[in-house]
Amino acid sequence: MTRFDEKLESLKEEIKHPNPGANCAILTFTNILDVLGKEEFKSHYFTNLVAPFPLFGGYKSEDGWKGPCGTVSGALAGLGIILGGDKKLSKMSQVRKAEMNGGKFAIQFSKEFGSICCADICGYDLTKPESMMEYMKNNTWQNKCMHFVLFAIDQVRKQTEKELLKNWE
């Protein structure tokens, strides 16, 4: 059983009731970092940098554009870390590969859940307090969002199998 398998197995129970302050982007990103196992990743900066993404997910522009699910943003950050390993992604081929992987992740996520927009897949406009109440009342985290997190972590693993072996074993 790999560290990713173990993490996913334990998360199935652990994230049913996440700690206060945690959100989908934080849970996705920090659990990927946890699997990678570097002391450096325990720094609070890694948590803080993804913390705002869930509400960007709730952003709706005047022309109807809706923000991506925070899980997607957390997973993209995780992809970049894994693909780069301990070296800066700077060569054109490396950067293009990381960018392509970002697009590939979005395609796979959308294929699985029908969309990558937060409002579309969770079914609520989380910027509105009344919608948030409904979200909580209907156990939407347990019924939907935690599964986005689990899928995202697994998908990141699938897309980076080669780099995980090469850069993180």
Partner 1 sequence: MESNDKSQKDVFERFQTKLEELKETLPPLGRTPGTSCAALTFTNILDVLNLEIFESCYFNNLAVPFSGFGSYVNDKGFKGPCGTVSGAIAALGVIMGGQEELKRENVSLVFAKAMQFADKFEKKFGSVSCHDICGYDLRTNYKTYVKENIWEKKCCNFVLSAIELVMKLTRKDLKTKWQ
Instruction: Give the per-residue contact string, 115-154, with partner 1 (x = CB under 8 A; - = no).
Output: xxx---------x---------------------------
Q: Which two tokens stand for residue 17?
A: 């009731």
Question: In a 10 Å sphere around its CB, with 0-12 CB exposed, 13-18 middle and 19+ buried, how is residue 112 labelled?
Answer: middle
Question: Does residue 69 belong to the site contacting partner 1 (CB under 8 A)?
Answer: no
73 is an interface residue for partner 1 by CB under 8 A: yes
* Distance between CA atoms of residues 51 and 92, nearest Å: 29
Looking at residues 74 to 103 of the shown chain, list those that interact with partner 1 (rule: CB under 8 A).
Answer: 76-81, 83-84, 86-92, 94-95, 98-103
> In terms of residues, how long is the chain?
169
Q: Cβ closer to partner 1: 72 or 153?
A: 72
Dihedral-angle region of residue 122 (phi above 0 means left; psi in -120 to 50 means alpha; beta otherwise)? alpha
Compute the least distance from the CB of residue 28 to partner 1, in Å: 12
Q: Which of 43, 138, 142, 143 binds partner 1 (CB under 8 A)?
A: 43
